[in-house]
Amino acid sequence: MQVKKGDKVIVIAGKEKGKSGTVARVLRAENKVVLEGLNLMKKHTRPKKAGEKGGIIDVAMPMDASNVKLAEKKVKKS
C-alpha cells in the first residue's frame, strides 16, 4: 500500500470517482483507506444520557485502497 495518513489522493473508481481528499486513516490488514468527507454513510444514533436527543450523523466509511491514487508525489530535495 502506497498511501499514508495525511496524503492527498484522487478517487479513480466507484461512486466518488474524480473527487479528491485527504487520507484520515489507513486499514492495512483490510487494504482499505478512510478519506475525510468522502464515501459518507448515514448512521442513526441513540440518546446516550437522559434528556439527550438521538439523531442521524454522517460517517466516513472505508474504501478499497486500489480505488485511490496519490494526487501529488513528494519530491525529496538533496
Domain boundaries along the sequence of the chain: 8-70
The whole-model pTM stands at 0.78
C-alpha–C-alpha distance, residues 65 and 37, integer Å: 16
Rounded distance, CA 22 to CA 8, Å? 5
pLDDT at 1 over 80: no
Q: Classify domain 8-70 at the CATH topology level.
A: SH3 type barrels. (2.30.30)
Residues in contact with 35: Cβ distance below 8 Å, sequence separation at least 6, in sequence order: 9, 11, 16, 21, 22, 23, 24, 60, 63, 68
Local structure of residue 73 (DSSP, 8 states): P
Q: Could you read off the pLDDT of 13-51 as tens digits, one per residue?
A: 999 999 999 999 999 999 999 999 999 999 999 998 888
3-state secondary structure of 36: coil
Band (pLDDT 50/70/90 cuts) for residue 52 is confident
